[in-house]
Structure 1
Amino acid sequence: MSERPTDAPADVPAEAWSGVHRGPLREGEWVRLVDNKGRKHNFELVAGKRFFSNKGHLDHDDMIGREEGFTLVSSAGGQYLVFRPLLNEFVVSMPRGAAVVYPKDAAQIVALADIYPGARVVEAGAGSGALTCSLLRAVGPWGRVTSFELREEFADVARRNVNQFFSAPEGQTHPAWDLRLGDLKEGLPTLGTDVDRVILDMLDPWNCVDAVADALVPGGIVCAYVATTTQLSRVVETLRVHGGFTEPQPWESLVRDWHVEGLAVRPGHKMIGHTAFLVTARRMAPGEAPPRKTRRPAPGAYGPDYTGPRPADVPALESVQPDLDPARPLDD
């Protein structure tokens, strides 16, 4: 085993604002304990304090000063694995106001909305701060994440969670974060600068499309996070009808674990299925429009029951006479 270089820094530089630490566990850090049944416990290390469970107690002092990745035995013989919590572990166990964006979706947003160091990102709303943590880590201390949240109680929860994850000193927060109470449509014009990415985690993202178009730089990306198919349809059609964005790309991701023991290799019994749909589109340059789609919509796609936005080149169904010839082959 190679030894650690003697010139390696003992910890990640504080100015990186990574939310990650190296080296021995310190008082004030959060740790994650996992027992042999997979039950998880997150808490802050405090000198002289004890952690209690149905398997007895553990002294915080027995963890402080040790390198993470060890097993500790409680007073009643329970075994606990001790690590610092990863970002994906922190966000699913942190206190919540609003529902959180799950790690599988946050990863898709960071990758497919191309969030990069130094980017100027706007999100609405902040929720409980789960996605905010991923965005801040991606843009780094030299980027900017502006979060709009309508509800003060949600903003308070998000602020506490973000500050906890990044170990912000008392009275401070991540230098790249600007948390604002208010509506995105009203707040975007007041930023005084163009933005590179806009993430919409809200009930009615279609109502913000005009404001987002005005704020995004050419080539910028809008990403909507919606829960239902009706929301998905409305936001896709609104982006399409606007004319200043590329063809919207909708998708969802599913995560399934696997059971692997010798020859017993099969899908696991638990799966993280539908959490939300994601939609991305890129901003065209001023005065430019994307090429028109050459593939015609499916018959009835914009029929009399459809009441949403309608592309200009798609006629209303009432003006199209269906072919009712019974002699026509069904697969024609």
Structure 2
Amino acid sequence: MMVPLDPANKPTSQRRIAEGDTVVVYERHDVMRAVTVAGGGVLQNRFGVFRHADWIGRQFGSKVFSSAGVGGKDGRKAGGGFVYLLAPTPELWTLVLSHRTQILYIADISLVVAYLELIPGCVVLESGTGSGSLTTSLARAVAPQGRVYTFDYHDQRASSAREDFEKNGLSSLIAVAVRDIQGEGFPDEHCGAADAVFLDLPQPWLAIPSAGTMLRQDGVLCSFSPCIEQVQRSCEAMRPFFTDIRTFEILLRTYDVNEGALKSATANEEANVGRLCKKKRKVRPAGEVLDSTQSSCVMVKPCNTARGHTGYLTFARRSVHGSQTEAT
């Protein structure tokens, strides 16, 4: 007989919003904020005034209107703006979390999760925790039976990260501890038990021997470093313990996509192709109606503010024969 799922154990995105939940308030694609729902709480922004009490009981993903103006159709408020109430997924949490340190973004995180070969039930060791951006994605990858053990040498950062994980309902998946992994290595209790290890440290080569002893045979290590000199020293330290050493740099290029209007060529313009080619394409404002001389098209161009270098990701696999195997 199928046992009914306890509503309290549903993924956050499938629950209704309750007091104390963390909600990502989406104003537009580049303006979002994390808000903790409180019964008497109020959010004010350029779209109006939003009472938290109106959010409680709604599903994540709901569109809510401000309380300004006169009541309209379907409970909407005439003249009021609106926002969306989204669940704090790892991708959205990366965009709205408090930056206690420099963080990893989606492009790097995606490669880390894929190349660490994480599946539900895996055990992952991480150092350092920082702002918890990567930690949140690691937890989702190994859920519901897996576990992420994350370490930071800074007590206040570790405490703040622990609070964030509790607010987002990840305490059962993530254990946070204060420890200097560069100086002390990982705790002996994890020896040979980790499926993957991630290092984000100033001197990762000091922690690599300890990481090697923590990993199961064929486990994968990843080290993130902003400078190529750090990568070089790390690779040298990996050679006695690891094989298949590879380094990647992720450069993400995004594009703007806009609908535009092209004016049809007249007989005189068709006779002068050179002049026609020099005419600029005009982007059509939203809602503008095309006349008989215009046609719609989609124009694409690279964004002017694409993010450049963030760091280097070095992956290595725990060699079968330990220190007797050299990397190729």
Note whether the superposition's TM-score is higher than 0.5.
yes
Report the identity percentage: 27
Alignment of 1:61-140 (within 5 A): 61-74=53-66, 75=68, 77-140=80-143
Greater relative contact order: 1 or 2 (C-alpha under 8 angstroms, separation 6 or more)? Answer: 2
Contact 2:245 2:327 in 1 (8 A): no
1:120 deviates by 1.9
User: Corresponding residue for 2:253?
Assistant: 256
Contact 2:242 2:322 in 1 (8 A): no
TM, length-normalised to structure 2: 0.75
TM, length-normalised to structure 1: 0.74
1:85 deviates by 3.1
User: Structure 1 residues 236 and 292, CA, compared in 2 at 3 Å: closer, same or farther?
Assistant: closer
C-alpha distance in 1 between matches for 2:30 and 2:246: 37
1:114 deviates by 0.9
Q: Deviations over 1:120-160 (max 9, x none)?
A: 21111111222221122222242232222111011111111
1:9 deviates by 5.7
Structure 2: gaps of 5 or more residues: 69-78, 260-297
Matched letter for residue 252 of structure 1: E
C-alpha distance in 1 between matches for 2:326 and 2:237: 17
2:109 is paired with a residue of what secondary structure?
helix
User: Structure 1 residues 142 and 256, CA, compared in 2 at 3 Å: closer, same or farther?
Assistant: same
1:287 deviates by 5.2
After superposing the two structures, state which structure 1 stretch, 278-287 or 218-227, moved more. Answer: 278-287
44, 47, 70: which one pairs with 2:39?
47
C-alpha distance in 2 between matches for 1:209 and 1:120: 17
User: Corresponding residue for 2:175?
Assistant: 178
Contact 1:128 1:154 in 2 (8 A): yes
Contact 2:204 2:234 in 1 (8 A): yes
User: Corresponding residue for 1:56?
Assistant: 48
1:279 deviates by 0.4
Contact 1:92 1:100 in 2 (8 A): no
Q: Deviations over 1:97-120 (max 9, x none)?
A: 222222222221111111222222
Alignment of 1:1-332 (within 5 A): 11=7, 13-14=9-10, 18=11, 20-35=12-27, 38-74=30-66, 75=68, 77-166=80-169, 173-174=171-172, 176-184=173-181, 186-191=184-189, 193-194=191-192, 195-240=194-239, 242=240, 244-262=241-259, 263-286=298-321, 289-290=324-325, 293=328
C-alpha distance in 2 between matches for 1:261 and 1:39: 20
1:291 deviates by 6.6
C-alpha distance in 1 between matches for 2:13 and 2:48: 28
User: Structure 1 residues 192 and 32, CA, compared in 2 at 3 Å: closer, same or farther?
Assistant: closer
2:306 is paired with a residue of what secondary structure?
strand
- When you count strand as a share of all residues, which structure comes out higher? 2
Contact 1:129 1:157 in 2 (8 A): no
C-alpha distance in 1 between matches for 2:120 and 2:106: 19
User: Structure 1 residues 9 and 189, CA, compared in 2 at 3 Å: closer, same or farther?
Assistant: closer
1:163 deviates by 1.3
C-alpha distance in 2 between matches for 1:43 and 1:182: 30
Structure 1: gaps of 5 or more residues: 1-6, 294-332
Q: Deviations over 1:172-227 (max 9, x none)?
A: x32x4332211225242522531221111111111122222222222111100111
Matched letter for residue 251 of structure 2: L
C-alpha distance in 1 between matches for 2:204 and 2:23: 37
User: Structure 1 residues 142 and 68, CA, compared in 2 at 3 Å: closer, same or farther?
Assistant: closer
1:22 deviates by 1.1
C-alpha distance in 1 between matches for 2:30 and 2:99: 22
C-alpha distance in 2 between matches for 1:156 and 1:140: 22
2:151 is paired with a residue of what secondary structure?
strand
2:244 is paired with a residue of what secondary structure?
coil
C-alpha distance in 1 between matches for 2:6 and 2:175: 30
C-alpha distance in 1 between matches for 2:309 and 2:102: 14
Contact 1:31 1:83 in 2 (8 A): yes
- Deviation >4 Å, runs of 4+: 7-12, 287-293
Q: Deviations over 1:289-313 (max 9, x none)?
A: 45775xxxxxxxxxxxxxxxxxxxx
After superposing the two structures, state which structure 1 stretch, 192-201 or 76-85, moved more. Answer: 76-85
C-alpha distance in 1 between matches for 2:8 and 2:120: 17
Contact 1:109 1:223 in 2 (8 A): yes
Contact 1:225 1:276 in 2 (8 A): yes
Matched letter for residue 254 of structure 1: L
Contact 2:220 2:315 in 1 (8 A): yes
Over aligned residue pairs, what C-alpha RMSD do you find?
A: 2.6
